[in-house]
Amino acid sequence: MGSAVPHLYNAGSATGVVMDVTHILDPLNDRQREAVTAPVGPALVLAGAGSGKTRVLVHRAAWLIEAEGVSPHGLLAVTFTNKAASEMRGRISELLGSSAGAAWIGTFHGLCHRLLRMHWQAAGLPQSFQILDSDDQQRLIKRVIRSLDADENRWVPREVQWFINNRKDEGLRAANLHPDDETEHEFKRIYAAYETTCDRAGVVDFAELLLRVQETLIRDPDLLGHYQRRFRHLLVDEFQDTNEIQYAWLKLLSGDGAQPFVVGDDDQSIYRWRGAKVENLQRFQRDFPNTRLVRLEQNYRSTGNILAAANGLITHNQGRLGKELWTEGSEGSPVHVFGGFDERDEAEFVVDKVKAWVDHGGRRDEIAVLYRSNAQSRVFEEMFINERIPYRVYGGLRFFERQEVKDALAYLRLVQSRDDDTSFERVVNVPTRGIGSRTVELIREYARDNATTLWRAAIALTGGDLSSRAANSVQAFLSQIEAMAVAVKGLPMHEQAEHVIAAAQLEAHYRSREKGERGEARVENLGELVNAARGFQYEEEGLTPMDAFLAHAALEAGEGQAAAWEDCVQMMTLHSAKGLEFPVVFICGLEDGLFPHQRTMTDPEGLEEERRLFYVGMTRAMRELYLCYAEQRRLHGMEAYSEPSRFLGEVPRELLEEVRPRMNVSRPVAMRYGGGGALAGDDAGTGLSLGQRVGHPKFGEGIVVTVEGHGAHARVQVNFEAEGSKWLVLQYANLEVL
């Protein structure tokens, strides 16, 4: 808690009433109190992880109302979720002992919707205008594309949707665009037609809400002046996540006399791919020159060692506003580092630690397994199911329930059995191939009337009962499945999966439908399905390997994850973990190319965001933090040998503890961590000596520099002349002593 403060405050500027503010200030530490009681004026609160930013926002609102005499009617608070807005409203009312109902508290979209409902005429909207959700917007775009006679296979509705929403988030109408090439020109043409269609129908999409309000206020100075005078006090949460139009909207509403109070953390800005601009924090200071800056650095969540590790990491980012988290709590355990042989070894380690935690009286829901790519969840799900450990995938679906995985499995099932109606319906027009709902309905009707399958009905109808265009599209689909069946016959199971995914063009389909992180995540899941097929072991008699694998996938999808209230391990991507905390955290897959992600390795801004994402993951941990990597991992169906993540080398070495006993500390890891490590001189029963020259059928000649483990199961590190350093499991290495 902070130092003693006066219990009475003179709200004289407005009411002359002396107020008791004990209940507002006593729960705060010194820095929180400094922020809450800051003189009325622009303020930026740089709130570190676990430092109580929500408390500061709530208490600032209560302070303004009780101590500064501000009417709730003149208060506007912006959050990023409806849940946060509801919580904020409730906590303010609790502090005030009365309702804060006159204050406007909500999300950007919610507040803009409210403004448009009140001023629909000024906004050029019908009074009963409707809001399109994402699916409705995509369907409307699809109709627009068709109305323009554009090729749907080239101008994919979801890709066009992404383009339109991004332009709106940047504050740009179709008329503001100046295309440089044919592709951009066509995007502009579709965008313009979409705008006309929305205006005619009296509908708005989510991105339109902010842009329409911005334009309306600029166009109507009287209306703008009214709200600038009314909302003299603007409170904004998660300011580092604001995009271009959100920042412009807030700046416009602030005008010359408003007093914005914003809370954010540049070290936790992880949504650049959604349009978030971390630089808005620095823009704020430039646009409001007399901004008061308060840093909240005292952390109430994590141990000292975890915070020191996170601080050491994030200092490698440039241009930070700067802060250093600290705690009055204990130093706690070192940060544990585990290097697995492969992804299964990594998952087994996590399972063992979960069991040990529970055996010592802990709860499973106190544990979080975090990963960069949601494709990584599959191996952990499999291990947890085998060990009967309840788990829940937070904010997402289990692996075999994901859309792209189910699409690929449907193709595989159809290749195995043409009479699988469910699979036929799922992928007959995925990717889009010009087979519309009416054609599918005709196939259904024929199958029902003739007591046959959809496949056989489709064959029959291509003989003349469909339009020539529909018949050609259906025939192309049937031929594609038949060609797949011929091509995969006799192939190993993972190669069958790989071929079918490629032949169906599913990767290209998902890359075009969803840009950025989401599209890439779906592609990674398809690659992980190939890995699942490669590693699948079956014992069922009378089934082909593929039949057994497909049955396994169906059973796992139907297994069902634990309910939200059950005591179960929490699994999630690092992005999903923001705002949460757990006593025990595992961050898995810490390898260059996976985390940081491959596409950011040559992008300085992208690499800094990856580092912030790692920082967010580390600061979720309260008591124990495990950083895990695998030296060999199957990615996109192929074995990959990876270096430990460069981020591990940016954490102060003295804070790390390797938890797997080793014969020696491997040279690359020791160098990466900044440590030393002598190499052992014996062969540990491997038949190899350090410094020995060996040959490999793929990598060529090299020198043995490290040996770990014993006998055939040992691992060796070889510096190859042509390929560089590689780790190999001796049992499978095919090394020849030269």
323 is known as an active-site residue: no
Q: Cis (ω within 30 of 0) for the bond into 39?
A: no
Q: Report the 10 Å Cβ neighbour count for 705.
A: 17
Structure tokens at 374: 């949601």
Q: For residue 626, give the nearest of 270, 342, 267, 357 by alpha carbon.
A: 357
CB 488 within 8 A of CB 472: no
Give the contacts of 699 (CB within 8 A, at least 6 positions apart).
718, 720, 722, 723, 726
Determine which one of 54, 291, 416, 480 is catalytic: 54
Determine which one of 168, 620, 634, 646 is catalytic: 620
268 is known as an active-site residue: yes
Q: For residue 674, give the nearest of 316, 186, 147, 238 by alpha carbon.
A: 316
Q: Report the 10 Å Cβ neighbour count for 652.
A: 16
DSSP tag of 241: G
237 is known as an active-site residue: yes
| DSSP β-bridge partners for residue 570 | 368, 392
Determine which one of 137, 242, 268, 692 is catalytic: 268
726 is known as an active-site residue: no
Q: Interhelix angle for 157-169 vs 134-147, to 10°?
A: 110
Long-range CB pairs of 634-640 (<8 Å, 24+ gap) are 634/342, 634/343, 634/531, 634/534, 634/535, 635/527, 635/531, 635/593, 635/594, 636/524, 636/527, 636/530, 637/494, 637/497, 637/498, 637/527, 637/530, 637/531, 637/534, 640/593
Determine which one of 34, 66, 208, 237 is catalytic: 237
CB 412 within 8 A of CB 546: yes
Cα 540 from Cα 119, distance rounded (Å): 66
Cα 113 from Cα 204, distance rounded (Å): 10
Q: Report the 10 Å Cβ neighbour count for 711.
A: 11
Phi, psi of 189 (to 5 degrees): -60, -45
Q: For residue 572, give the nearest of 433, 392, 356 by alpha carbon.
A: 392
Residue pointed to by tokens 């950007």 = 108
Determine which one of 66, 159, 208, 238 is catalytic: 238
Task: Return the ∠ at Cα 15 (arms to 14 and 17), rounded to 5°.
Answer: 130
Cα 392 from Cα 561, distance rounded (Å): 5
| DSSP β-bridge partners for residue 335 | 656
182 is known as an active-site residue: no
Q: Distance between alpha carbon 99 and the CA centroid of its chain, in Å?
A: 36
Q: For residue 6, give the nearest of 26, 36, 35 by alpha carbon.
A: 26
H or E stretch including 367?
strand 367-371
Cα 247 from Cα 69, distance rounded (Å): 28
| DSSP β-bridge partners for residue 73 | none
Q: Cis (ω within 30 of 0) for the bond into 596?
A: yes
- The total number of residues shown for the chain amounts to 738
CA-CA distances (angstroms) from residue 171 to 208, 228, 657?
10, 20, 49
Supply the DSSP string of 424-455, one letter for each residue: HHHHTTSS--S--HHHHHHHHHHHHHTT--HH
Burial class (CB in 10 A: 0-12, 13-18, 19+), 567: exposed
Determine which one of 31, 33, 53, 578 is catalytic: 53
Supply the DSSP string of 50-109, one letter for each residue: TS-HHHHHHHHHHHHHHTS---GGGEEEEESSHHHHHHHHHHHHHHHTS--TTSEEEEHH
Phi, psi of 21 (to 5 degrees): -110, 20
Phi, psi of 577 (to 5 degrees): -80, -15
Q: Which positions are catalytic? A: 53-54, 237-238, 268, 620
